[in-house]
Each structure stands twice: as C-alpha cells, then as structure tokens.
C-alpha cells in the first residue's frame, strides 16, 4: 500500500468487522480497566492508563507502520526526545547533537544531562560529523535533525549512521520537519527516529504529541518502560486527534509543499528578501543530499528580511500568515527565530506554508513584502 492509503487506513484493525461495531471507535478515556478476579487468566490486557491504552496502540501501529519499527508515543516531542536522551546516555556514554537544531533539545543536554557528568558535544548540521565522532571519548548517542529547524540544513543519515556505529554509538534522528512520509531514517541506518507530532503529523495546531520509533524492539521496550515510569504519557483525546490528523497527512503535505515551492520561487525574486532556503529547490545547497535521502518535500522554508522591524511590518501587512511559533499546521504561519535565542540573523523568518490556495497565499505574501519595501 502507498502512503496515502496507509495514512487513511493506519491503526484500524483489518476486517471482517462485527456488525454494529463502530467504524470510528473514538478515544478510550478510561484511566483504569477491569482486572478480573484472581482466578482469571492474565490476558496481558489493559490495566492502568499510564502503562497502556487502546487508543495509543492505534496511533502507534499507524506511525510505526510508516516509520518501519515499533513506535512509542509521548505527551510531546520534548517528552520523546528527553526519554531518548535519558535512556541511551550515561557517564562514559555522552551525547553528540546539532549546534543549530531545535534549541530545547540542547537545553535538555546542557541542563539535565551535563550536571550528571554526561559528556555533551555539538556539531553543525552541515558540519563534519565524521570528524566530530572521532573525538574521544566516543559518544553513546548521536542525535541528528535533518532538515534542521530553523536553518533547513541537511546532513547525510546513511554516512553518519555508519560512522556512529563504527564508534559504538546509537543514531537517533529528529524527523519532525520531514514527517514519516518525507523521510524514513530507520531505512537509512538510524537506530531511533523521534519527532514532534505537534507539527505536521497531527497537523491542526490543536495537539501536543511526540513519538519514538526504534529499529530494535529491545530499544522500543526500554522506551516504553521509561514512559511508564516517567509518566510523560499522552492523553487519549490528544492521541485520537492525532490519529484523525494523520489520515490527511499525505494530502496536507502535497498542498503545503506546492505552496512552499511557489513562495520560495516568488520570494527569491523580491528585493527585500535574501537567503531563501527550501531544500526542494533544485539549486538549494542542500537539494542533492536531501533528494538522496528524502522521499518528498514539505511546507517549511526560511528567508531573511533586513531587520526585526521589517519582519514586524511584513507580519503586520499579511492577512494569511499568522505570527505564531510551531509549524506544519493548516494555517500558514511565520516565526522570527532570533526571538527565541537561535543563533541566526535577526531578520530570519521560518515560514510554514499551510493549505490555503496557492495564488491567494503568494499574492498575500508579495503584497505584504511590497509594504515592507515602501
């Protein structure tokens, strides 16, 4: 089955379906489940909502099928990433992560791991990971983010997987910007794939959720146990909303990528704009590498305006671009990343193309940019 079918059908049990059974069973909101009596066989069934939940299993089966390995969902992308960092590092097993990726992942390493004596090192996404992996002591875990947020730089998952394994490290890839339809890191040699499903996967800006899929079921089991102990569990309602969102991921990505391409092409021609990056453009510096490991493009691009003031004027003049952080939702939004402390030019804007009509969106953005020039 191809991606669209798997998105629509994912997580649902194959037929035959009992007459009268619901096509859409809805979220199972129970915190606790009937245990039976002491003489009843232990069926391995649900017993308590921090350990497992039938709605979680539906979403985990759908995402795991796309990622290509058993999936464990978490209450947010950061809950998933923190669980990976805590479970697969330790004294003598440090972490190597991107210097230009999602800033909260670096905060977890610096504020939570480093004080425990865990070695924390960084490398730029487009930098020399093989050299960084030669430094002693070798890390226990390498975390990549490709394409990176917000820089949209790309690194070579296959090559870094080989170099990481050569020094005995596990490789995890933050796949948030690509989504499981855009990139399958486990097929490229990664051990773990993590993502914030708050973004395009759930896709409507109304849910916080994250997940980890693992190539090795033993690693998946460790993450599940860590989730039950740590308690960073997703709500069944949020899980169900994400499952519902996943059904249209294929359709949404298609429109978002179409909009991003049209915007990138239009922005490059505008005198107020510099440094437009969208890996899908044939002459983008990351294009060839991205094409060698990505399956399709998405709606996230970046560009730079001359100043903070210019970004303010631009956002004020837009009707169809919300000034919000986060990305991957139905509505187009833009975020000036320096406001969050990212080491980027003050006028750098990450724009997440939504599902509006392309001509409406490009027209609105160009009109707003003309206001900046005036």
List interacting residues with ligand PLP (CB under 6 A): 76-78, 81, 102, 145, 149, 174, 176, 196, 198-199, 208, 210
Say which DSSP state 234 is in. Answer: P
Q: How far apart are CA 82 and CA 97, in angstroms?
A: 13
Nearer to ligand PLP, 55 or 146 (CB): 146
Query: Is residue 102 annotated as a catalytic residue, yes or no?
Result: yes
Tell the smallest beta-carbon distance from residue 6 to ligand PLP (Å).
23
Q: Which of 67, 174, 250, 342 is catalytic?
A: 174
User: Rounded to 5 degrees, what are φ and ψ at 191?
Assistant: -90, -30
Collapsing DSSP states into helix, strand and coil, what is residue 194?
A: strand
Write down the catalytic residue from 106, 199, 255, 336.
199
How many Å is the Cα radius of gyration of the chain? 21
Cβ closest to ligand PLP, residue 78 vs residue 138: 78
CB of 207 to ligand PLP, least distance (A): 9
Active-site residue among 3, 50, 295, 296?
50
174 catalytic per annotation: yes
DSSP 281-323: STTSTTHHHHHHH-SS--SEEEEE-S-HHHHHHHHHH-SS-EE
Q: State the nearest-atom distance from the C-beta of 85 to ligand PLP, in Å.
A: 12
C-beta nearest to ligand PLP: residue: 77
What's the closest the beta carbon of residue 101 comes to ligand PLP, in angstroms? 6
- Let me know if 284 is a catalytic residue: no
Nearer to ligand PLP, 274 or 323 (CB): 323
Cα 64 from Cα 11, distance rounded (Å): 9
- The closest alpha carbon to 68, from 130, 3, 133, 128, belongs to 3
**Shortest Cβ distance from residue 145 to ligand PLP (Å)?**
5
Pick the closer one to ligand PLP by CB: 27 or 328.
328
Distance CA(210)–CA(179), nearest Å, equals: 12
Cross-strand bridge partners of residue 174: 145, 194
Measured distance CA(171)–CA(191) in Å, rounded:
5
Rounded distance between C-alpha atoms, residue 239 and residue 309, angstroms: 39
Which residue's CB is nearer to ligand PLP, number 73 or number 361?
A: 73
- Least separation in angstroms between residue 342's CB and ligand PLP is 12
Give 152 or 368: the residue with its C-beta nearer to ligand PLP: 152
Among this protein's residues, is 342 annotated catalytic? Answer: no
Q: Which residues contact 188 (CB under 8 A, 6 or more apart)?
A: 157, 158, 161, 293
Q: What angle do CA 124, 126, 129 make, to 5 degrees?
A: 70
Tell the smallest beta-carbon distance from residue 349 to ligand PLP (Å): 15
CA atoms within 13 A on the CB side of 108: 23
HSE at residue 45, side-chain half, CA atoms within 13 A, is 9
Which one of 102, 156, 250, 261 is the catalytic residue?
A: 102
Check if the beta carbon of residue 16 is closer than 8 Å to that of residue 33. no
- Please answer whether residues 163 and 129 qualify as being in contact, where contact means their C-beta atoms are separated by less than 8 angstroms: yes
Q: Indicate the residue among 46 and 105 with the shorter CB distance to ligand PLP.
A: 105
Which residues are identified as catalytic?
50, 102, 174, 199
């Amino acid at each position: 089955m191809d991606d669209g079918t798997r998105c629509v059908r994912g997580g649902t049990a194959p037929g035959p379906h009992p007459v009268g059974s619901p096509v859409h069973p809805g979220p199972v909101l129970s915190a606790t489940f009937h245990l039976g009596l002491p003489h009843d066989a232990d069926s391995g069934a649900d017993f308590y909502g921090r350990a497992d939940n039938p709605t979680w299993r539906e979403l985990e089966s759908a995402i795991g099928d796309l990622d290509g390995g058993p999936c464990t969902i978490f209450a947010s992308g950061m809950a998933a990433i923190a669980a990976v960092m805590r479970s697969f590092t330790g004294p003598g097993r440090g972490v190597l992560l991107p210097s230009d990726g999602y800033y909260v992942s670096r905060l977890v390493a610096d504020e939570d791991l480093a004080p425990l004596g865990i070695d924390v090192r960084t490398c730029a996404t487009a930098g020399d990971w093989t050299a960084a992996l030669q430094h002693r002591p070798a890390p226990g875990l390498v975390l990549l983010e490709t394409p990176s947020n917000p820089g949209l730089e790309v690194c070579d998952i296959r090559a870094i997987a080989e170099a990481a394994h050569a020094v005995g490290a596990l490789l995890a890839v933050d796949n948030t910007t690509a989504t499981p339809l855009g990139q399958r890191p486990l097929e490229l040699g990664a051990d773990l794939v993590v993502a914030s499903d708050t973004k395009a996967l759930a896709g409507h800006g109304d849910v916080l959720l994250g997940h980890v899929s693992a190539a090795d079921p033993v690693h998946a089991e460790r993450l599940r146990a860590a989730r039950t102990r740590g308690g960073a569990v997703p709500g069944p309602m949020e899980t169900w909303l994400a499952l519902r969102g996943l059904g249209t991921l294929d359709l949404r990505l298609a429109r978002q990528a179409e909009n991003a391409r049209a915007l990138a092409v239009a922005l490059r021609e505008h005198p107020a704009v510099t440094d437009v990056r969208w890996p899908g453009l044939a002459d983008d510096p990351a294009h060839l590498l991205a094409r060698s490991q990505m399956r399709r493009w998405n709606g996230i691009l970046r560009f730079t305006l001359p100043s903070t003031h210019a970004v303010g004027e631009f956002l004020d003049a837009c009707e169809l671009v919300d000034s919000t952080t986060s990305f991957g939702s139905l509505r187009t939004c833009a975020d000036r990343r320096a406001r969050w402390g990212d080491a980027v030019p003050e006028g750098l804007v990450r724009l997440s193309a939504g599902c509006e009509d392309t001509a409406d969106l490009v027209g609105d953005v160009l009109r707003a940019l003309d206001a900046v020039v005036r």
